[in-house]
Chain A
Amino acid sequence: MSYLRNFEYFEPESLEEAVKLKLKYDPEEAKVLAGGVDLVPRMRRRQILPKCVISLHRISGLDYIESNGKSGLRIGALTSIRSIELSSAIQRDYKVLYEAVHQIASIQVKTMSTAVGNLCVASPASDVALSLFVLGAKLRLIGRTSERVIPIEDFYVGLNQTSLRPDEIAAEIILPSSTAQLSCAFLRLTRTATDCPKVNVAVTMKVVDNRCKNVNIALGCVAPTPIRAQKAEDKLRGQIPGEKLIEAAADAAAEATKSITDIRSTAEYRKEMICVLTRRAIEKSLNMKGESYRRGDMQ
């Protein structure tokens, strides 16, 4: 039997009500519960001891993947990662997100966990976040009196820290209109397939006549938040990349890292592997080596 420390528990029926409840407590003391795969185990381990838990599960209309043609696609606060994986719209138009969620975790965890909840945990290892970084996703945050839409990169401010204000709840992810024309790659290095990654890399780029345009590269597990490898992107933008340029871009990505050593890997190994995975991800995006870099080849 595992006892959770006592907390007050609420099941609001609207986001407005949830926001009001959240405001009654100190920001650190009120936790919002969506899928629970992060919060509940951490409460068990006494890593988080909230005074108040606000479950969103009674709020209807938060579980959706809605495509609005030109204005893009929206993913609700209670949409599970498994629903994203099984969505034909995501598979077709947001391939890098599909590749990320298809590779990660177990079906059990994906069925329970929500994408928005995953972002709110603000882990630098989030595969979901990385793919949203390179897709240029935005987040809609609902506050007590107003709401705002911010780029996902502005949501992450530090390790497990977001720019969510005390009176705000993250309500949905907004993806730009179809990115089906983009080339992409999502690669991760883990101990076992369902583990949290040691490092992960996401790339999207528009390739016209072998020339790179709109290059986006995001790196995970190598800084307090997911990061963009801007210098690596700059090297590729507008170029027709050959082996040397790709190598230089991969080196630039490794230089952008501020890795630490922890239970999953060492700082040195992470830096080395960012170089390798970035090179492979660029090559895969350019369709140079295509299918030869599935996750199984890297374990």
Chain B
Amino acid sequence: MSKQIAKFNINGRPYEVLIEPQTILVDLLRDQLDLMGTRLNCGVGECGACTVLIDGKLNLACSRLAITATGKDILTIEGLAKGTTLHPIQKAFAEYGAIQCGFCTPGMILSAKALLDSNPNPTKKEVQEALAGNLCRCTGYLKIVDAVLAAADAMGKGGLA
């Protein structure tokens, strides 16, 4: 095993980490960097719990070798809030009860963010399609979709009051 130093920019902060080519991104985030918000569930790219944004694009951390993300900007759920101020999507999820066990929530919120970044005023159907890669086994999606629509509304008005 040949370890090497890899640089990443995670949640706006530079990291230099010793990794092996075999290190999977989700394991780097959780086990080496203690960023436990990125969840490992199915491990085969079906559930979306490990969703992160790499250079602004949706990725599955369970299906990516960390070394191939060297030098990139990675956003995990930990990078969304500013101090103790939640991101409007996080706030909407809490207000709308779009969280039950919470396991899928980080992935859901990052998928929602990717949607709202490119489409600030999505329709309900567009929200459903954007979240199709994130499975939730608790809430049944209705509140999640409502929360994303509410977040879009709030962000359009300059934040969730």
Contact = CB atoms under 8 A, between A and B. Distances in A.
A111 B58 contact: yes
Interface in B54-72: 57-60, 62-65, 67-68
Contact of B63 (A1, A36, A57, A193): A36
B10 to A, nearest CB: 18
Nearest to B46: A194
Contacts of B80: none
Interface in A249-289: none
B22 A36 contact: no
Contacts of B132: 106-107, 193-194
A105 B105 CA distance: 20
Contact of B65 (A45, A55, A106): A55
Contacts of A109: 45, 60, 133
B45 A37 contact: yes
B43 interface: yes
B1 A1 contact: no
Interface in A1-36: 1-7, 9, 33, 36
Among B22, B59, B63, B130, the one with the most A-chain Cβ atoms within 10 Å of its Cβ is B63
B48 interface: yes
Contacts of A40: 24, 62-65
A112 interface: yes
Contacts of A1: 27, 31
Among B24, B45, B64, B111, the one with the most A-chain Cβ atoms within 10 Å of its Cβ is B45
Given A105-B133, A107-B132, A44 B59 contact: no
A9 B63 contact: no
Given A33-B65, A107-B58, A108-B111, A45 B133 contact: no
Given A37-B60, A41-B63, A107 B24 contact: no
Interface of B: 1-2, 21-22, 24, 27, 31, 40, 43-46, 48, 51, 57-60, 62-65, 67-68, 111, 114, 130, 132-134
Given A40-B24, A107-B132, A111-B58, 16 more contacts: A1-B27, A4-B22, A9-B2, A9-B22, A37-B63, A40-B63, A40-B65, A41-B43, A44-B24, A55-B67, A107-B58, A107-B114, A108-B48, A108-B51, A109-B45, A193-B132
